[in-house]
Amino acid sequence: MKHFAAALLSAAMLLTLAACGGDPDTAQESIQAIAMDTVMVFTAYGQHSTAAAYAAEKLAYETEALLSRTDPESDVSRLNSAPADTPVELDGRTAAALEAALAWSERTDGAFDCTLAQVSSAWGFTEDTFCVPGQEELAGLLEHTGFDQITLNGTAASHAPEAAVDLGGIAKGWLSDEILKIFQKNQVPRGRIELGGNICVIGDRPDGSPWRIGIQDPADPLSADAFVGILHLTDAYTVTSGGYQRYFEEDGKTYHHIIDPATGYPAENGLVSVTVEADAVEGAGAMCDALSTALFVMGEEQALEYWRSSGYEFELVLVTEDGRVLVTEGLADRFTAGEDTGYRYVTVS
């Protein structure tokens, strides 16, 4: 009996040693969270991997509680339900996310518009009560949209009459920036922050090769291994937005969740998905998220024009309705086309 207990104890000690990996540099933690309507995976290496991954998870739930539009207690709901032109004191994190959203609304000339809350609700995308709104209703709602309808002073914000905020197009990007800071504080040498289609990779893979990120084939959105191509990246953000991610059908027509602020209708400008890639520097997560939505709204020509005038701060993979995959020059050598996808691949400069 004694022998048996001793054997168990030493087996347990061996297991503990194996779990620690002996070498703190190879210690790895990977945890999953379901928050903000998305599956999130935080993978961290290094001595403080566990602390980093759990701090990331905690911040994800806190951010959801602050920015949710369906939780009446959230900061965003408190702001939206407050009387017009009455400042509401926000958590510093909500104010920071709102500040980024307003800045990107302005920088994209309103293609990214963080005030489409009422329009999204009219389509039922917020509450999962899908329906096609009337044209007059949409026109009425669009009169109260635009970043100039929101005032932010420090951490106090107010809205113009009938205007409301929706941070759904930037919340995950903003969160990924904050999680990257947490990883850096914990000296995570390599890792991966995955918030649905928002991905940040830190360092390279343990074998020294770049991380691999598949770009979903929009024609086969439910398949786990249908990719238009693979990105090979180190220290980078990438965000994909597409009409195939969230949509409903009515009378044989498909309506998706990315709204063209000019019309109030789902954007239909010839693109089926937009992937934005950038170096993992401060604020790049929010940039990629806002731009993936904005460039989807703009359509191919305007999106490429925007890229050319941006000073190549970011790179793109655009999938068009007519079956082309456009990869911008700066990303071409880090992109591998999928096999037998049926797409025509073009490098653009």
Using rule CB under 6 A, residue 276 touches ligand ADP: no
Q: Considering only 6-14, 108-116, 149-157, 318-326, which stretch makes contact with ligand ADP by CB under 6 A?
A: 108-116
* Cα–Cα dist 128/319, whole Å: 27
Q: How far is the CB of 293 from Mg ion (least distance, A)?
A: 4
- Which of 186, 292 has the CB closer to ligand ADP? 292
Q: How far is the CB of 289 from Mg ion (least distance, A)?
A: 4
Q: Which residue has the tokens 């030493």?
A: 10
Using rule CB under 6 A, residue 194 touches ligand ADP: no
Q: How many other CB atoms sit within 10 Å of the CB of residue 66?
A: 23
- Which of 33, 52 has the CB closer to ligand ADP? 33
Q: Return phi, psi of residue 216, to 5°.
A: -55, 140
Q: Give the DSSP H/E element, type plus range, for residue 325.
A: strand 324-328
Q: How far is the CB of 275 from ligand ADP (least distance, A)?
A: 11
Residue type, 346: V
Do residues 338 and 217 lie in contact, with contact meaning Cβ atoms separated by under 8 Å?
Answer: yes
Q: Considering only 6-14, 76-84, 126-134, 281-289, which stretch makes contact with Mg ion by CB under 5 A?
A: 281-289
* Cα–Cα dist 242/218, whole Å: 7
* Cα–Cα dist 21/95, whole Å: 41
Do residues 240 and 215 lie in contact, with contact meaning Cβ atoms separated by under 8 Å?
Answer: yes
Show the binding pattern over residues 168-197: x = contacts Mg ion (CB under 5 A), - = does not: -x----------------------------
Q: Which residue has the tokens 């929101």?
A: 150
Q: How far is the CB of 324 from ligand ADP (least distance, A)?
A: 21
Using rule CB under 6 A, residue 120 touches ligand ADP: yes
- Residues with Cβ within 8 Å of 298's Cβ and at least 6 positions away in sequence, in order, are 108, 111, 269, 306
- Which of 231, 297 has the CB closer to ligand ADP? 297
What CA dihedral angle connects 165, 168, 173 and 175, to 10 degrees?
80
- Which of 125, 255 has the CB closer to ligand ADP? 125
Q: How far is the CB of 53 from ligand ADP (least distance, A)?
A: 22
Using rule CB under 5 A, residue 68 touches Mg ion: no
Using rule CB under 6 A, residue 63 touches ligand ADP: no
Tell me the C-alpha to C-alpha distance, in Å, between residue 189 and each of 108, 122, 180: 34, 45, 11
The residue ranges that bind ligand ADP (CB under 6 A) are 112-114, 116, 120, 125, 166, 168-169, 196-197, 241, 245-246, 257-259, 261, 289, 292-293, 297
The residue ranges that bind Mg ion (CB under 5 A) are 169, 289, 292-293
